[in-house]
Amino acid sequence: MRRPTPRRWLQGCAGLAAITMVLAGCSSDTTDDTADEPGTETTDTGTDTGTDPEGGEPTDAEPSGGSFSTQLGEPSFLAPTSQCYESECSQVLNTIYTGLLSIDPETQEQVLGVAESIDSPDGLVWTVKLKEGWTFHNGEPVDADSYIRAWNYAAYGPNATQTGFFFSPVEGYDDLQGEKPKAKELSGLKKVDDLTIEITLAKPFSQWPLSMSYTPPFAPMAEECLDDLKKCQEQPIGNGPYQIVGEWKHNDNITVERFEDYAGEGVANADEIVFKIYGDLVTAFRDWQAGNIDITVPDPSQYKQAEALAGDRLVRVDSGVFSYTGFPLYMEEFQDVRIRQALSLAIDRETIDEKVYFGTRTPATDVIAPFVPGSRTDACEFCRYDPEEAKRLYDEAGGIPGDKITIWFNNDGGHELFMEAVANGWRNDLGLDYEFETQPFTPYLATLEKGEVTGPYRLGWGPDYPS
């Protein structure tokens, strides 16, 4: 589960291999239960969402239909989309919304979605022209007003949206911040006509279109949604290839179905996708074994078993995501940099990768994944394992009061073995006693936002768009 956060970080293990198991995908008859061995049969019928895995655009082929289910953690938000800044809500929103543009992961080229064009003569003033014929799932037009209302809501400081800062380059953003904002709308946004938006930035920024490829902050908002955000949170109104069925069933499932009036190129492939919400990966894997779910991510403790059962249906791909342990710098004991350096030096990343993740992670030396241009092997001086130096720095700094530490992480993402390995290293090398405080992902994020964690905390981060 991904959560970018502008806090101090201590690198643990970079998650450079996303591991997913595909079971039966789906069939044209969703009641079909003919697998000889539950959790081991595979079929090619209707196993994707109808999006090109390379470009992220709907396919032009005729849809094969059927339905499939996939594992998900409980999202934090679905509406407004600008409140979504983590992986679980993003997975759902990317099916029910189509953005202005996306980025082809292979070529890094811009692939236009709702946008007809995005141009600027100087990098300062940008003109976004929208394609005709796009509608929300409720029939409202996807027009300039729908984007401007969404962006002003996101940027308005008192709304405290998670992704409002994406609009900080826009002229007038500062006037929307603070306890008593000077304005409620961005002065840099202008409706030229129903299908044209002019965006004036505070200073030239040549990569502005790349930032707009990140859909949650830049998605349009239906007027019906703005009028009743509480209702829209439970039943989002998107413009994408899928629309939500009924309402979000919290801690159970979110179901989406093909939107027959989708205006984008191509159509969604499967008739229906069921996002089954699990409190932990262990349970999800057991359901996969029983044939009750089609796609899941195995818990690290189950990886070898998953590898044996799934064979070539165990999918591993490079990922720019990394896991890290951060520090609550509002606590005095973590303000001494030597303490933080000591804790980092007492993490044996190579052994954690080997013993916990079975060689599927890359010990981090940079916040940038190794396969990304610009990544360095020497960016983090204290990301090596050096228990002697760790102990020297820890003692020199006076240690942590009582030599006891509380370690925080979310308990629904398969992080237990990782955090136990980190904690045992601190105990063995620094003499620290420890205890864990764990919560499900959504309340865990709230605890972090309120500054209530009382020790090192685990989070993950992944890039929002190429730059």
pLDDT digits (tens, 9 = 90+) for 374-414: 888 889 999 999 999 999 999 999 999 999 999 999 998 88
Residue 31 belongs to domain spanning: 21-74+250-316
| Token output for 387 | 């228990």
CA 118 to chain centre: 25
Specify whether 119 is located in the same domain as 187. yes
Specify whether 46 is located in the same domain as 67. yes
pLDDT digits (tens, 9 = 90+) for 157-190: 999 999 999 999 999 999 999 999 999 999 999 9
Rg of the chain over Cα atoms, rounded to whole angstroms, equals 23
Task: Output b/e per residue, 314-345; b: 16+ Cβ within 10 A.
Answer: beeeebbbbbbbbbbeeeebbebeebbbbbbb
For residues 218 and 166, the answer to whether their CB atoms sit within 8 Å is yes
Position 243 scores a pLDDT of 97
Helix (H, G, I), strand (E, B) or coil at 254: strand
Specify whether 308 is located in the same domain as 327. no
**Domain final residue pick, 283, 298, 316:** 316
Instruction: Specify the CATH number for the domain of residue 297.
Output: 3.40.190
Pairing of strands 17-22, 13-14: unpaired
Specify whether 290 is located in the same domain as 354. no
| Token output for 417 | 């073995």
Specify whether 257 is located in the same domain as 175. no
Instruction: Specify the CATH number for the domain of residue 207.
Output: 3.90.76.10
Rounded mean pLDDT, 48-64: 50
11 pLDDT above the threshold of 50: no
In a domain, 182, yes or no: yes
In a domain, 420, yes or no: yes
**Domain final residue pick, 280, 299, 316:** 316
Specify whether 354 is located in the same domain as 401. yes
Q: What whole-number distance in Å separates Cα of residue 125 and Cα of residue 139?
A: 31
Task: Output b/e per residue, 232-262; b: 16+ Cβ within 10 A.
Answer: bbebbbbbbbbbbeeebeeeebbbbbbbeeb
Q: For residue 449, with 0-12 CB atoms within 10 Å meaning exposed, 13-18 middle and 19 or more buried, which class applies?
A: exposed
Q: What whole-number distance in Å separates Cα of residue 276 and Cα of residue 295?
A: 10
Q: What percent of the chain has pLDDT over 70?
A: 87
Rounded mean pLDDT, 260-274: 92
**Domain final residue pick, 266, 298, 316:** 316
DSSP string spanning 296-333?
Answer: E---GGGHHHHHHHHGGGEEEEE---EEEEE--TTSGG
Most confident of 44-48, 365-369, 385-389, 459-463: 385-389
**Residue 286 pLDDT class (50, 70, 90 cuts):** very high
In a domain, 86, yes or no: no
**Residue 61 pLDDT class (50, 70, 90 cuts):** low
Cα dihedral 293, 295, 300, 303 sign: positive
Number of domains composing the chain: 3
Specify whether 187 is located in the same domain as 204. yes
Question: Please, which residues bridge with residue 314 across strands?
Answer: 21
pLDDT digits (tens, 9 = 90+) for 301-321: 999 999 999 999 999 887 778
In a domain, 193, yes or no: yes
| Token output for 397 | 């700094």
Instruction: Specify the CATH number for the domain of residue 453.
Output: 3.10.105.10
In a domain, 327, yes or no: yes
Average pLDDT score over the chain: 86
Specify whether 376 is located in the same domain as 431. yes
Q: For residue 58, with 0-12 CB atoms within 10 Å meaning exposed, 13-18 middle and 19 or more buried, which class applies?
A: buried
Specify whether 330 is located in the same domain as 290. no
31 pLDDT above the threshold of 50: no
For residues 2 and 460, the answer to whether their CB atoms sit within 8 Å is yes
In a domain, 411, yes or no: yes
Specify whether 374 is located in the same domain as 432. yes
Specify whether 454 is located in the same domain as 327. yes
Specify whether 299 is located in the same domain as 411. no
In a domain, 130, yes or no: yes
In a domain, 207, yes or no: yes
Long-range contacts at 160-168 (CB < 8 A, ≥ 24 apart): 161/80, 161/82, 161/83, 161/217, 162/77, 162/82, 162/83, 162/84, 162/85, 163/82, 163/83, 163/84, 163/85, 163/214, 163/216, 163/217, 164/82, 164/217, 166/211, 166/214, 166/217, 166/218, 167/217
Neighbouring residues of 80: CB distance < 8 A, sequence distance ≥ 6: 150, 153, 154, 161, 221, 225, 226, 229, 232
CA 306 to chain centre: 24
